[in-house]
């Protein structure tokens, strides 16, 4: 059996985000769980697994959609499907989604500062979770 660890949440229904990301052609992640269309529509399909808010943050309802968006976009960055200069946009959008979902402005600010300063490795191309084998 092959598997990956480190995920806390699994999406129960497909989620849609309208973004300012405009690829030249539609993008589909190798897993098939993430699509980014030329219109900027990001689709994260039911069944996608992610780890929720990271770092010194904590998991709350006002951070869940933003963490899903951020993790899905970072996966596209790691897979080389989005250019690395789009990280800044993804980080800013995470903050905007937090605010839209009712997060306190101070918390949204420090969450954004955290990913700006410390999440570059997570967006680096090729930085993926290892595939494990059991037994």
pLDDT digits (tens, 9 = 90+) for 41-93: 999 999 999 999 977 778 999 999 999 999 999 999 999 999 999 999 999 99
pLDDT of residue 57: 76
Domain limits for position 18:
8-124
What's the confidence (pLDDT) of residue 95? 97
**To the nearest whole number, what is the mean pLDDT of the chain?**
92
The predicted structure's pLDDT at residue 117: 85
CB 133 within 8 A of CB 5: no
Rounded Cα–Cα distance for residues 10 and 118 (Å) = 25
The residue that leads in pLDDT, 123 or 84, is 84
Instruction: Tell me if 1 is assigned to some domain.
Output: no
Q: Over 90: is that where the pLDDT of 127 sits?
A: no
Q: Does any domain span residue 135?
A: no
Q: How many domains does the chain have?
A: 1
Between 31 and 6, the higher pLDDT residue: 31
Helix (H) or strand (E) holding 115: helix 105-118
Q: Please report whether residue 78 resides in a domain.
A: yes
Q: How many other CB atoms sit within 10 Å of the CB of residue 99? A: 17
> Which residues lie closer than 8 Å to 102 by C-beta, 6 or more apart?
62
Does 121 score more than 80 pLDDT?
Answer: no
Q: Is 132 among the domain residues?
A: no
């Amino acid at each position: 059996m092959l598997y990956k660890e480190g995920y806390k949440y699994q999406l129960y229904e497909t989620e849609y985000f309208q973004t300012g990301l405009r690829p030249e052609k539609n993008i589909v992640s190798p897993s098939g769980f993430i699509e980014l269309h030329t219109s900027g529509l990001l689709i994260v399909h039911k069944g996608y697994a992610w780890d929720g808010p990271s770092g010194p943050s904590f998991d709350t309802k006002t951070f869940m959609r933003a963490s899903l968006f951020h993790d899905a976009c970072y996966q596209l960055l790691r897979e080389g499907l989005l250019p690395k200069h789009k990280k800044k946009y993804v980080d800013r959008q995470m903050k905007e989604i937090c605010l839209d979902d009712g997060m306190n402005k101070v918390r949204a600010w420090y969450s954004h500062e955290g990913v700006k300063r410390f999440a570059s490795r997570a967006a680096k191309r090729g930085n993926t979770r290892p595939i494990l084998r059991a037994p």
